[in-house]
Every structure is written in C-alpha cells, then in structure tokens.
Structure 1
Amino acid sequence: MILKNLIGTAAFVALMFTVSAFSCTDKAEETLQNSTSNNNGFAVLELFTSEGCSSCPPADQLMGEIEKQYKDQPVYILAYHVDYWNNLGWKDKFSSVENSKRQQQYAQTLRSQVYTPQLIVNGKKEFIGSDRDAVENAIQIALLNDTNAKIDLSAKVSEKEINVNFKVQENNPQNKLLITLVEKKSSTNVQKGENEGRHLVHWQIVHQQNQISLKNSPEGTTSFKLPANFNTNDWEIIGMIQNVKSGAILGSAEASF
C-alpha cells in the first residue's frame, strides 16, 4: 500500500510539472505575440538571388517557408534577382540591372560585400539568405522593436495597367516610398550554368519597383504595366518607406486589389 501511494504521488507530481511546463511555454508564446501586436512591429526581408547561383536555391526555398510560416503577421518578402550572374552560363529571366543597383546601394550604406544569396532585414542588417537561424532571429527582433509607419495602399486593375493609390504621414525629404509589384511564386527549368538540370522554384519575385519622393507627395497614384497572364491571386503590391541616407525601412504594407 505504501509503495502504491508513493507511485501515485510521484505520478501526480510529474503530471503537475508537465502541465506547469506547458503553461509556461504557452505564456511565453502569448507574451511574444502580445508584445509584437502591441508594438505594431514589422519585418521586410529583401533577398538578392539568382538562378545562376548554386548557393541560392536553399535561400529561395527558405523564403517560401517563411512566407507560409508568417502569413498572418506583418512580414514582407521581396526577392530581387540580380543580373551579374547572367554572363556566367545562364540568363535569369527575372533579373534586372535595377535589382543589382539596389544591392550595390545597400553595400554602400551597410558597408557590406555584394554576394548571393544575401538577405537584408528592414534595411539595417545583412547576412547569408539561407541561414535559417539568423533569419528567424532577425524577424523576431524586428517584430518586437521596429515600429511600423502607417501606409495606406489600394490597387485597381484595368485592361493595361495596375493603378496604386497611396497615402502616408511621412514628409521627411530624406524618406521615399517604394511601391513594388511582386509575383508570389514561379519556377524555371534551368538548362545551363551552375544549376543546370534543376527545376527551381521562386517566391515573392520583384518585377517592377516605383520610387516616390515624399517631400511633396504624401499621397497620390502610381502605376505598373499589367504583366502577361496577370491575375490578382498570384500577384501582390508591397509598399515601404525607406530613409535614403541610412537605408533603414520605417514601415511597410500590402495593397489590396
């Protein structure tokens, strides 16, 4: 009888410890979520990538996973395909010289090297884009610490173009509004170069980006040429306010079609 009582007592203590542990975990997660919500934080992830780079597919895949994981939180992903890999065996159809120039601008403001895959978070921190731990850590820090400046966006589609209406409260001449047309997902069968024979899947691909000075235009309209085979389910508009001097991103938002 004594042995049974001891076993019963031990089992009860173990059960209470387990319940307490789960309770602490739940409270910690709830605290993080509440802190994030109350602080109105956000995270903009800018990936510089290329279909000609054999190190880039893991970073592209990670962006797809992050997009799914944080779909209900203010985490915005933009994948810029650079063009300086194009003369090394394979031309990336999503690449542009504008994307490469944007990365070079970051290299100057952040005093970093130009490489792929490179990820920049809120214009402040850069690291290898396939480093999951670094990405997760940077997102949590941004959500808890970076207050999101308000941006009102709405988009309307016509036969030939997409018109985006914007309104912000920022009027600092050193800040600009970047409005970007993003394709949510696409893929390519690579036939040459470092990724020859591979089927590559990409997420949040930057196609066009309009830059607007906020000195005299806190509200207005900008437009994009309508892509071929466009539909509102596969594309989105992302806007962000960026300080020209520091490169820091002060706020971001998605537009509803």
Structure 2
Amino acid sequence: MRTAKILTLAAFLIAAALGTTAFINAKHTNVPIADNKGFALIELYTSEGCSSCPPADELVAKIQKENADKPVYILAYHVDYWNRLGWKDQFSSADFSKRQNEYANYLNINSVYTPQIVVNGRTEFVGSEEGTLRNAIRTNLQKSSSAQLDLSVSATNSSHADLKYTTQGADKSTVLQVAVLQKNAQTKVLRGENGGHTLSHVQIVRELQEVSLKGNNGIANITLPHGFDTQNWEIMGFLQNTSNGAIIAASRVSFTGEAGIGAMVKSSK
C-alpha cells in the first residue's frame, strides 16, 4: 500500500512538472520578439569615365540581386569630376561629388576616389572589394537598429510627389535624406577610359533632397526628375546624423500607377 502511494505521488509530481514546462514553453512562444535587426545602406561613388568603376557597378548589381528580400539598400552616385577627361557621364552631378567630399571630412580621409563605397555612413573602402563589402553587410545586418523610418508616397503629378514619413529615434542632429532612384540603365560610352564599352548601372541616384524633420511625422514635397516613370524608379529615404555622417535608419517605396501619377507602395524594409 505504501509503495502504491509513493508511485502515485511520483506520477503526480512528474505530471505537474511536465505541465509547468508546457506552460512555460507556451508562454515563451506567445511573447512577441522585438525586431532589432539591422540594415546596410551602401553608397557607391562611381563614374562612366573611370575604367576601375565597372567592376564595382557589377558588384553592387550582384549584391542587389542576392539581397532583394533583406534590408540592404544600394545607392549609386555618379560624380562629375571625371567629366573633363573625355566623357561626360549623363548621370553625374556636382551635388554627388560634394556629398562624397563631405564623407571625406566625416571619415577623416585625405581625398576622394572612384569607385568608393560608404556603408551606413561610417565605413569606406574601394568599391570593387567584394569580400570587404560582404563583411560590412553581414556586420551591419547583425546590429540592433537605434531608429526607425516608415515612408509612404503619393504622386501629385509627373514632376512632384508628397512623401509622408514617420520616424522613431531621431534627434535634433538628424535629417531625412530622400533619394529618387532610377533602377537600371545602360550607356554606350564613346570616349574616355571606357570608350567603346556598354556599361550597365543599377540604383542610380537622380535626385537627392535633404528634409528637415518636424517632429516624428511630416510630409515633404519631392521633385521627380525628367524622364521619371512608375515602372523603373523608386524612392529611398534614410536618416542621417549631420554631426558624424552616421545613417541610423533606412526605408524604400516603389511606385505604382500610370506615367508617374498614382498611389505608391508603403515602405519596404
């Protein structure tokens, strides 16, 4: 009789322990896990007049394809200081050369060059260094995000759009940079170092506009470049600290609708 009681008690204790374990596991399963995943914003400084640039252009195109479902953002800025050497890059802008020089000050480097990549405003290296780029992406994807950016856009006409933004974690030193991107293009280069070659480009920055943040929510009027269409363009926004150049959040929106007028998809991260 005593043995039977002991066995019954043991069975009860085991069942209770299993029940407690099941309850704990269920509780953990139902608790939402905070999404602290990082991101990698890759800024390539390139030029059609630079013979060292096509490998970097090809590299970011490959990275773009491989990371289509990840928060990896690519912006290709075509600088203008190569234009005097035989070929004028149709995508180049003095504004992009100026931005690259600002990074030289942020990152304490003596001079700018092409191809150059800057990741999240804090790391720079030669744009064709595939291993370095992949390591930088991996490292930044594993970091926790300190801020958040959500975007939605409606095009008012073929030359302007209203960008609605919501931010978290931005301070008084933070601005919203808005890039209007042409997703891809090809150019047959006739002169200069790449003369006789047809070059392919992705994520070409055609306009870059700085927006001063007014609280955590706001609307900014964005200029759409000549030649804009809804199929081959997108808007990318990112929060940047003007004191040190650090980029703390990024997001994108793709266009839908006809001929530049219509609704757009909410931000994709």
Q: Same fold (TM over 0.5)?
A: yes
Q: Which amino acid aligns with 1:191?
A: L
How far the C-alpha of 1:213 sits from its partner, in A, is 2.0
- Contact 2:207–2:225 at 8 Å: present in 1 too? no
Q: Does 1:169 align with 2:174?
A: no
- Assess, with a 3 A threshold, how the Cα gap between structure 1 residues 95 and 217 changes in structure 2: closer, same or farther: farther
Describe the SS at the equivalent of 2:229: coil
Q: Does 1:99 align with 2:104?
A: no
Q: Does 1:76 align with 2:82?
A: no
1:166-224 deviations in Å (ceiling 9; x for gaps): 1212451111111110111011110110000100000100011111122x343222233
Match of 1:141 in 2: 139
- Contact 2:177–2:240 at 8 Å: present in 1 too? yes
1:20-54 deviations in Å (ceiling 9; x for gaps): xxxxxxxxxxxxxxxxx953210000000000000
- Assess, with a 3 A threshold, how the Cα gap between structure 1 residues 199 and 40 changes in structure 2: closer, same or farther: same
Higher mean C-alpha displacement, 142-151 vs 67-76: 142-151
- Count of aligned positions: 220
- Contact 1:41–1:145 at 8 Å: present in 2 too? yes
Q: Which is greater in Rg? A: 2
Match of 1:123 in 2: 121
Alignment of 1:17-166 (within 5 A): 38-112=35-109, 113-147=111-145, 149-160=147-158, 161-166=160-165
Match of 2:211 in 1: 212
Q: Does 1:187 align with 2:224?
A: no
Match of 2:240 in 1: 242
Q: Cα RMSD over matched residues?
A: 1.6
- Alignment partners' CA distance in 2, 1:148 and 1:41: 9
- Contact 1:179–1:211 at 8 Å: present in 2 too? yes
The TM-score, its normalising length taken from structure 2, stands at: 0.78
Gaps of 5+ in 2: 1-33, 255-263, 265-269
Q: Does 1:196 align with 2:195?
A: yes
- Alignment partners' CA distance in 2, 1:194 and 1:134: 26
- Alignment partners' CA distance in 2, 1:148 and 1:238: 19
- Contact 1:40–1:148 at 8 Å: present in 2 too? no
Q: Which amino acid aligns with 1:121?
A: V
